[in-house]
Amino acid sequence: SRSIDLAVIPGDGIGQEVVAEGLKVLSAVLPQDVKLETKEFDFGARRYHATGETLTDADLDALKRHDAILLGAIGDPSVPSGVLERGFLLKLRFAFDHHVNLRPSKLLPGVATPLAGQPEIDFVVVREGTEGPYTGNGGTIRKGTPHEVATEVSVNTAFGVERVVRDAFARAQARPRKKLTLVHKNNVLTFAGHLWTNVFNKVAEEYPDVTTDYIHVDAATIYLVTDPARFDVIVTDNLFGDIITDLAAAVSGGIGVAASGNINPGREFPSMFEPVHGSAPDIAGQGKADPTATVLSVALLLRHLGHDAEAARIEDAVSADLAERGGLPARSTSEIGDALAARVAG
């Protein structure tokens, strides 16, 4: 489409700073005839402290009218753990049915990895976003007593598993290596494990050109540090995806460069794009945060909206910038944003 109507949620901590640079690069990359409109929303810790609200029905209605959402980061130590996570981040993922949580991991030239020997890393994790142990099912009895029992229920449906598995097969088929790995723990979580494994094997029959394999989540963490090159596309459950994508980000250059999309592939609701990192209150307001992960999230956003050429321009600019970075003096958040904006515009 020739216009983009974007909801912008800077959020907390470094969220403000990195989103500003994301928008700078977005404006720079878009052709003249694509009209960009943005509307800022004030969700996060400040709003919560001022009003007690995290995300109301009216908020959801307002967000729904936009083409996509760009989020900085949500979370602050002043808010009890879980309030903003469950009340904002997860509420939004569930309300807008963001069932494909897309997290690419690519070790770009010039980027430092904690792994010895600069291995090749170029894979994508397709994490389920609306089921598993993230549904909020469960409860507590006898709270605070020596007889307290707390449960968490992982809910998995054939519908929910199949749609994300199909999405992952399609992504694997579109990549040169055409390989898809299912990560689960089907030897222990046998109910959910059988569902995931059966659906995966059934859908695999429709993709004879995609090579498949299966790895337990514990073993997957080993391969991520000893042989990350074995992965091309990974599909996994919401919680396992949460865990392995942080590890994947760490080995492929750190959360400073890890982008993600919370995607509703059918576009019934706007998808949301955000860096994998959090609000990092310890460095907030100092112009130190690396906006690269947010800029790469903008690229995912553009690709989702069909602006593939612009997405590629951003990714190329980031690659070029990172390749040079070792030779550059330390730069501020906005200096990195400026450099990337100049590259995509040029």
Tell which positions 274-313 bind ligand IPM, by CB under 6 A: none
HSE-CB for 24 with a 13 A CA cutoff: 20
Binding track over 152-191 against ligand IPM, x by CB under 6 A: -----------------------------------xx---
- Name which position in 7, 25, 28, 250 contacts its own copies (CB under 8 A): 250
What DSSP element (H or E) covers 212?
A: strand 211-216
User: What's the CA gap between 191 and 239, in Å, rounded?
Assistant: 16
Q: Which residue's Cβ lies closest to ligand IPM?
A: 85
DSSP tag of 229: G
Q: Is 81 in the site for ligand IPM (CB under 6 A)?
A: no
Annotation marks residue 5 as catalytic: no
**280 appears as a binding residue in the annotation:** yes
Q: Select the span of 58-66, 84-92, 291-299, 326-334 touching ligand IPM (CB under 6 A).
A: 84-92
Binding track over 109-148 against its own copies, x by CB under 8 A: ----xxxxx---------------xx-x-xxx-xxxxxxx
HSE-CB for 210 with a 13 A CA cutoff: 29
Own/partner contacts of 132-135, CB < 8 Å, gap of 24 or more, are 132/156, 132/192, 132/237, 132/238, 132/239, 133/238, 133/239, 134/90, 134/238, 134/239, 135/94
Q: For residue 3, what are the β-bridge partners? A: 35
Q: How far is the CB of 134 from ligand IPM (least distance, A)?
A: 7
User: What's the CA gap between 178 and 214, in Å, rounded?
Assistant: 15
CB of 240 closer than 8 Å to CB of 246: no
> 315: Cβ–Cβ under 8 A, 6 or more apart, which residues?
296, 299
Q: Is 213 in the site for ligand IPM (CB under 6 A)?
A: no
Tell which positions 89-108 bind ligand IPM, by CB under 6 A: 89-90
Nearer to ligand IPM, 85 or 122 (CB): 85
- Give the interface with ligand IPM as residue ranges (CB under 6 A): 85, 89-90, 187-188, 218, 242
- Give the interface with its own copies as residue ranges (CB under 8 A): 81-82, 85-86, 90, 113-117, 133-134, 136, 138-140, 142-159, 162, 185-195, 197-198, 217-219, 221-222, 224-226, 239, 242-247, 249-251, 254-255
